[in-house]
Structure formats: structure tokens, C-alpha cells
């Protein structure tokens, strides 16, 4: 059995073979002499002993049963970058076709025409909804797309300072900081405050490579990015627009039309379920003049000598394909199956369907926000929103969310979870409403919250 532990005889035989070359190796411990003693375990890990397959299955099933999935809850209003939307059954049916489900990255374009055509269609859709010239063939998720966009901006303008909006999702901020940890340069960010707009233009100077701003932001607010785009252009910096709820692009002016130089987004809302956090699909689009600095890969359309249409890898920036020192990314592959799900769902919706879906999301959110604002001591902090808003409660939000979860109601995300340690946000609750929310579910949240308060 390939995956079972080695027997004593197996270990003895292996040590004998190693010892024949390295006489000092007689025990397994001898293989780890270069590891400092302080870094070694002094006793086995506190884990249960091995068990049979049936016992393991039972244990894991019991652990999984402790989760309350959004689809199993009485009502769910959780968002903060991951949104529950209806995914048509046709999407899952089509992506499970063998030629899609087992397809690997298109190293041999001449025999990967189906995969390349799908990626070409995906890129076209992303470019259209973001209002940009060109999009790549997807990335891992929205957060890593944002980090890659910052690296791209630094390469493009040959500067190192990065300005992050305080209203950027903290997970995106953390990913950007991780990517930039071992490079020179400065990252500037304000203190988050859901009650007022920040003056980002004042932070942009002649040393700034890029400004990263989210729309709608992490508190659900919508802003016109045009003035910020002009401020960046005046200083020779790039503006990176982040979209965590891609359905919003069916209602809000696309970032490209507001002057963004790079647009990154999380595409999970279209075609992909919550899945306890992944896998998701990162969208990445930019201006044509920056295409040579764009990470990932680009599928293109061409014609052969007989005039027959075909598809090719027009651009591939991974270090495996070109000289390492010239590579613009080390992203190993794209989230192909999730991108396919996005493409199928978007094709089923069409442009008018996306607009209708966006209008329905917004209308339901207005409906719930009005009901919650009528509760004593409760205030909606937003002066604008798409399908997510921040509620200020008269007491700490986290205990209330836990109490309502016990009733099967997933009331939202306490901002204290996103910003641990920031006491000014302890009473704030982020609530997301999608087309899946019914009137009865919204009423259950209102009554549950009223009782908890």
C-alpha cells in the first residue's frame, strides 16, 4: 500500500542504503543533525493514533457536521468578499464534462483549442464588464490578483511607494503586504473608518507607484473613482481598482470608465459557489499599453494559412516559459475550471441578465436596510451601497452574531473579525443581501436582531 507508513524492515533497509554512502547515518535522527535542537520536537505531536478508514470517515464527518453552511442556514447575510448567489444547474453540469474537468494548462496550444477558446471568451467577458482593454486568462483569486497588480505597477512606473485605501478589504491588504515584504519600498495606509471618506489624493506624490482602492469598498460604500484617477495621472502613478463583488459591475460604472489603469476582482459571485472558501477565480484587466507587464497568460485568436480560426497563447509571463530574470510573474497556473464556470454563467445571463441580477440585489438590500434602520438604536452608516452595508449597533456585534447563529441565522460579519483589536468598530456589523434572500429570511433577521438587542 503506497500511502501506509513504512515497516521497521523498510526503514532498516533504507538506512542501510544511506549508511553505505554516508557512514555517519545509522538512525533516522542522524538525518536531522543539521536541524537546530531548539527547532526539534521533544515529544510526538498531540494527535490521535492511526485509525481505520471507516473510523477516520466517521471522525471527519462529525467534524464537518459542526459547520453551518450558508445553504443550510435558516437565513444567510454573510458577505465581506464571498457572496452567496444562485448558480444555475447548467453551470455545474457543463463544467463536469470530461474534456473540461480533466483539462490541464495549455502547454501545447495546437491540441488545446477548446481550453484556449474558453479562456479567450473568458478574457473578453472580463474586459467588457471591467471596462478595460485587455484581461488575462485568470488568476488564483482577487487578493493575489491585487498583490500581482501592485508588483506590476512598481515595474511599470519604476517606483516603490504603494498607497492602500483604508477601506480595502484587510485580507487583500494582508496579501499585498506579504507579497511586498521582502522588497524595498513603502506601503502607506490610513486608519479604517466607515463613517467618513478618506483623503487618498493627499497621499499620492512623485514617489508613488500606485493607489489601490476598492469599489464598493469593504464597508459597502460606492464612490466615484474619477477624481482619484486624475490625481494618480497628475503624479505619474497608476490606479488599481479592486472589486470583491463582481455582480456590482452590472449596476455601477466600470472602473475602466472611471480611469483605472488596472482592475482586479474576485469572480466567485458568477458561476462559483461559496464552497467554504474556495477555490475561487481572480480577474485581472489592464490598459493595452501595459500588456507586456501583465502577469499570468493571455489567450489570443488567430487564423492559419487556410483562413481557419484558431487560438494561441499570445502572452505567457511565467518564469518557466521565459528567462527567469525577465518573468513578470511566478503564478503557476490559472483557476481554469472556476474561470469556465464564470464564463458559462455569464453567457447564460447575458448583458441584460447581469443588469437585472444587479438591480435585484440592490433592491433587496434597500428593502432590508430600511427595515433594520427602523430598529431602536440601530443605524445604517452608508450613504451609498450596492448589496452590502455597515450597520452600527448599540452593543458589540460579535456576541449578537454568535447568538443568532445558534438560531440558524447567519447575520453578517462583525467588523471586529476583520479588524481585531480596533475597538471603534466593535459595534459594527457588515450585512450582505443577494437575490437568494427571501422576504421571510429578511424578516427573520430583523426579528432575531430585535430580540437579541
For the chain, give the mean pLDDT. Answer: 93
Question: Is the pLDDT at 71 greater than 90, yes or no?
Answer: no
The answer to whether 181 and 301 are in contact (CB under 8 A) is no
Between 27-36, 104-113, 202-211, 307-316, the lowest mean confidence (pLDDT) is in 104-113
Question: Is the pLDDT at 171 greater than 90, yes or no?
Answer: yes
User: What is the pLDDT at residue 150?
Assistant: 96
User: What is the pLDDT at residue 101?
Assistant: 85
pLDDT band at 296 (very low <50, low <70, confident <90, very high): confident
d(CA 369, CA 451) in angstroms, rounded, equals 17
pLDDT band at 189 (very low <50, low <70, confident <90, very high): very high
d(CA 375, CA 252) in angstroms, rounded, equals 29
Residue range 191-223, pLDDT digits in tens: 999 999 999 999 999 999 999 999 999 999 999
pTM: 0.88
User: What is the pLDDT at residue 319?
Assistant: 54
CATH for 75-86+351-452? Answer: 3.90.1150.10
Same fold? 75-86+351-452, 89-346 = no
User: What is the pLDDT at residue 324?
Assistant: 65
User: What is the pLDDT at residue 379?
Assistant: 97
- Mean per-residue pLDDT for 77-85? 97
Question: Is the pLDDT at 76 greater than 90, yes or no?
Answer: yes
Sign of CA dihedral 443, 448, 451, 453: negative
User: What is the pLDDT at residue 397?
Assistant: 98
DSSP string, 175-240: HHHHHTTTSS--EEEPPP-TTS----GGG--TTEEEEEEESS-TTS-----HHHHHHHHHHT-EEE
Question: Is the pLDDT at 320 greater than 60, yes or no?
Answer: no
User: What is the pLDDT at residue 321?
Assistant: 60
User: What is the pLDDT at residue 318?
Assistant: 61
- Mean per-residue pLDDT for 36-44? 90
CB atoms under 10 Å from CB of 444, counted, come to 18
8 or 332: whose pLDDT is higher?
Answer: 8
pLDDT band at 3 (very low <50, low <70, confident <90, very high): low
pLDDT band at 313 (very low <50, low <70, confident <90, very high): confident
pLDDT band at 354 (very low <50, low <70, confident <90, very high): very high
Residue range 265-280, pLDDT digits in tens: 999 999 999 988 889 9
User: What is the pLDDT at residue 95?
Assistant: 94
User: What is the pLDDT at residue 68?
Assistant: 86
Question: Is the pLDDT at 108 greater than 80, yes or no?
Answer: no
At 363, is the secondary structure helix, strand, or coil?
helix
- Mean per-residue pLDDT for 157-164? 96
Residue range 239-265, pLDDT digits in tens: 999 999 999 999 999 999 999 999 999
Between 64-68, 248-252, 323-327, 383-387, the lowest mean confidence (pLDDT) is in 323-327
DSSP string, 302-355: EE-TTS-EEEEEEEE-BTTTS-GGG-SB------HHHHHHHHHHHHHHHHHHHH
Nearest Cα to 221, choosing from 252, 266, 247? 252
Per CATH, is 89-346 categorized as 3.40.50.2300?
no
User: What is the pLDDT at residue 333?
Assistant: 62
User: What is the pLDDT at residue 438?
Assistant: 97
Residue range 377-435, pLDDT digits in tens: 999 999 999 999 999 999 999 999 999 999 999 999 999 999 998 999 999 999 999 99
User: What is the pLDDT at residue 330?
Assistant: 64
Query: For the chain, what are the domain ranges?
Result: 75-86+351-452, 89-346
Starting at the earlier edge strand, list the strands of the sheet with 388-392.
379-380, 388-392, 428-432, 413-414
d(CA 251, CA 7) in angstroms, rounded, equals 63
Amino acid at each position: 500500500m503506497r500511502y501506509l507508513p513504512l515497516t521497521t524492515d523498510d526503514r532498516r533497509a533504507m538506512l542501510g542504503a544511506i549508511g553505505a554512502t554516508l557512514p555517519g547515518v545509522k538512525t533516522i535522527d542522524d538525518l536531522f543533525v543539521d536541524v537546530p535542537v531548539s527547532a526539534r520536537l521533544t515529544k510526538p505531536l498531540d494527535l490521535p493514533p492511526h485509525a481505520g478508514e471507516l473510523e477516520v470517515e466517521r471522525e471527519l464527518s462529525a467534524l464537518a457536521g459542526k459547520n453551518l453552511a450558508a445553504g443550510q442556514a435558516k437565513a444567510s447575510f454573510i458577505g465581506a468578499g464571498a457572496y452567496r448567489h444562485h448558480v444555475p444547474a447548467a453551470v455545474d453540469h457543463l463544467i463536469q464534462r470530461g474534456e473540461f474537468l480533466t483539462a490541464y494548462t495549455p502547454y501545447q496550444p495546437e491540441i488545446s483549442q477548446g481550453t484556449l477558446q474558453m479562456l479567450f471568451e473568458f478574457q473578453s467577458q472580463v474586459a467588457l464588464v471591467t471596462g478595460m482593454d485587455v484581461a488575462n486568462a485568470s488568476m488564483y483569486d482577487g487578493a493575489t490578483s491585487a498583490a500581482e497588480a501592485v508588483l506590476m505597477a512598481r515595474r511599470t512606473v519604476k517606483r516603490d511607494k504603494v498607497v492602500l485605501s483604508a477601506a480595502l478589504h484587510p485580507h487583500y491588504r494582508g496579501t499585498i503586504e506579504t507579497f511586498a515584504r521582502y522588497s524595498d519600498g513603502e506601503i502607506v495606509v490610513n486608519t479604517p473608518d466607515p463613517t467618513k471618506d478618506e483623503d487618498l489624493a493627499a497621499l499620492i506624490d512623485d514617489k508613488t507607484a500606485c493607489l489601490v482602492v476598492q469599489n464598493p469598498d469593504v464597508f459597502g460604500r460606492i464612490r466615484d473613482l474619477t477624481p482619484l484617477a486624475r490625481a494618480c495621472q497628475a503624479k505619474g502613478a497608476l490606479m488599481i481598482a479592486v472589486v470583491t463583488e463582481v455582480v456590482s459591475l452590472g449596476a455601477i460604472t466600470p472602473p475602466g470608465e472611471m480611469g483605472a489603469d488596472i482592475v482586479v476582482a474576485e469572480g466567485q459571485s458568477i458561476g462559483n459557489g461559496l464552497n467554504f472558501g474556495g477555490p475561487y477565480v481572480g480577474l485581472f484587466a489592464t490598459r493595452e499599453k501595459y500588456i507586456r507587464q501583465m502577469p499570468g497568460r493571455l489567450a489570443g485568436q488567430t487564423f492559419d494559412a487556410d483562413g481557419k480560426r484558431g487560438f494561441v497563447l499570445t502572452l505567457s509571463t511565467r518564469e518557466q516559459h521565459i528567462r527567469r530574470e525577465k518573468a513578470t510573474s511566478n503564478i503557476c497556473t490559472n483557476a481554469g475550471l472556476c474561470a469556465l464556470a464564470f464564463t458559462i454563467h455569464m453567457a447564460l445571463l447575458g448583458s441584460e441578465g447581469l443588469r437585472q441580477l444587479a438591480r435585484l440585489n440592490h433592491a433587496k438590500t434597500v428593502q432590508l436596510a430600511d427595515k433594520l434602520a427602523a430598529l431602536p438604536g440601530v443605524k445604517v452608516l452608508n450613504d451609498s451601497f450596492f448589496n452590502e452595508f455597515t450597520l452600527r449597533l448599540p452593543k458589540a456585534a460579535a456576541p449578537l452574531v454568535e447568538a443568532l447563529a445558534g438560531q440558524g441565522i447567519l447575520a453578517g460579519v462583525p467588523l471586529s473579525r476583520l479588524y481585531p483589536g480596533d475597538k471603534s468598530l466593535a459595534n459594527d456589523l457588515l450585512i450582505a443581501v443577494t437575490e437568494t434572500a427571501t422576504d421571510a429570511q429578511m424578516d427573520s433577521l430583523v426579528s432575531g436582531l430585535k430580540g437579541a438587542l
